[in-house]
Structure 1
């Protein structure tokens, strides 16, 4: 499966809209936060999908990929 470039760029620049990490980029939120959501249930919709993706990126040690995308494709 080929990653969608636009989706990765959007993920790299997406900010948390609520809670303790409101305003932080999803990539900057610690892995334990995503693990907690995985156990309790991710939010519905786009945010939940992006949080699931970020959880997978973090547990697989791919954060540097997102930081690189964020830097190369600044908004």
Structure 2
């Protein structure tokens, strides 16, 4: 039987610390970006590297209604 893995806590913590380095939402935490901005990246293509991974992860969290994961993590910090 295949084991189901949950989200990587280290990545979730990164979403709460990493700031958008450019654009309209420069210096805003990735976790606080509006879903419309994440959808735009999804259509245009996420940037390469760590930023792209974090943006695509945040997009998946938002569209799957999993924002509560980050809300709980913020409370714990």
TM-score range, shorter chain: 0.7 to 0.9
Greater helix percent: which structure? 1
> Can you give the 5+ residue segments of structure 1 that lack an aligned partner in the other structure?
none
In the superposition, the TM-score normalised over structure 2's length comes to 0.83
Question: Alignment RMSD, CA only?
Answer: 1.3
Q: Which has the higher contact order (CA 8 A, sep 6+)?
A: 1
Q: Flag the structure with larger Rg.
A: 2
> Can you give the 5+ residue segments of structure 2 that lack an aligned partner in the other structure?
none
Deviations 1:4-30 (A, max 9, x none): 222211122221111100111112111
Query: Runs ≥4 in structure 1, deviation > 6 angstroms?
Result: none
CA contact (8 A) 2:19 2:29 kept: yes
Match of 2:35 in 1: 31
- Count the aligned residue pairs: 73
